[in-house]
């Protein structure tokens, strides 16, 4: 039951990130059309896009930790045995939690103690500025949570360390798939030629 709830929450997170990206595209596209076709536009669109982009980036940090898409230099770490990789992973997670904790403290101080307290509004949208900036608090709490989950996975042996995105391996796999596709196309053309 818990696994199903977690899976559902992951789908909601992915849908929300997709919604943010799609909304940015629609707002930007509509502004381009309005400006170049109708010689008009709305002044708040840039500010809305800025807020949407900030939400996408800040929430994307914890999402990247969850799906192991952050890149890093782990060539030295991979030379260690599994126990050394676990130790390096736990050190990296601890550093990430400390960093996210500092950012969370600063975000709380800025958003709650300044922006919310003094009722500052956004320039163009005329909404309380703490609403779009609250993503800082949400994002850094999620980042700490995801790092704690990763630490638990390392300690329990489900991961050997901080699993990072490997762009080199991904590129080689894509290149290998591309070569396989070319070979299949050549074989199909050869078969067609033999049949004729």
Q: Is residue 195 part of a domain?
A: no
Q: Is residue 136 part of a domain?
A: yes
Flag whether pLDDT at 194 surpasses 70: no
Q: Is residue 193 part of a domain?
A: no
Q: In this structure, is the dihedral angle defined by the CA atoms of residues 76, 82, 83 and 89, taken in order, positive or negative?
A: positive
Q: Give the pLDDT confidence score for residue 23 in this predicted structure.
A: 96
* Mean pLDDT (whole number) for 167-193: 68
The total of structural domains in the chain comes to 1
* Mean pLDDT (whole number) for 177-182: 63
Identify the domain containing residue 167 by its residue range.
2-180
Q: Is residue 84 part of a domain?
A: yes
Contact between 161 and 77 under an 8 Å Cβ cutoff? The reply is yes
Q: Is residue 162 part of a domain?
A: yes
Q: Is residue 186 part of a domain?
A: no
Q: Is residue 194 part of a domain?
A: no
The model's pTM is: 0.78
Could you tell me which residue, 189 or 144, shows the higher pLDDT?
144
* Mean pLDDT (whole number) for 92-107: 95
Flag whether pLDDT at 170 surpasses 70: no
Q: In this structure, is the dihedral angle defined by the CA atoms of residues 144, 153, 62 and 22, taken in order, positive or negative?
A: negative
pLDDT band at 125 (very low <50, low <70, confident <90, very high): very high
Q: Is residue 185 part of a domain?
A: no
């Amino acid at each position: 039951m818990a696994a199903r709830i977690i899976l559902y929450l992951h789908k909601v997170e992915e849908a929300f990130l997709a919604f943010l990206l799609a909304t940015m595209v629609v707002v930007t596209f509509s502004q381009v059309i309005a400006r170049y076709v109708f010689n008009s536009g709305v002044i708040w669109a840039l500010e809305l896009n800025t807020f949407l982009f900030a939400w996408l980036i800040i929430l994307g940090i914890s999402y990247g930790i969850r799906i192991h898409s952050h890149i890093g230099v782990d060539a030295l770490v991979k030379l260690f045995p599994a126990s050394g990789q676990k130790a390096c992973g736990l050190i990296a997670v601890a550093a990430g939690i400390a960093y996210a904790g500092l950012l969370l403290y600063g975000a709380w101080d800025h958003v709650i103690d300044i922006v919310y307290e003094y009722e500052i509004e956004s320039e163009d949208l005329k909404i309380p500025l703490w609403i779009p900036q609250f993503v800082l608090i949400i994002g850094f709490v999620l980042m700490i949570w995801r790092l704690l989950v990763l630490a638990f996975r390392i300690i329990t042996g489900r991961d050997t360390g901080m699993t990072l995105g490997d762009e080199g391996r991904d590129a080689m796999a894509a290149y290998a798939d591309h070569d396989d596709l070319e070979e299949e196309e050549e074989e199909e053309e050869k078969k067609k030629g033999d049949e004729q």
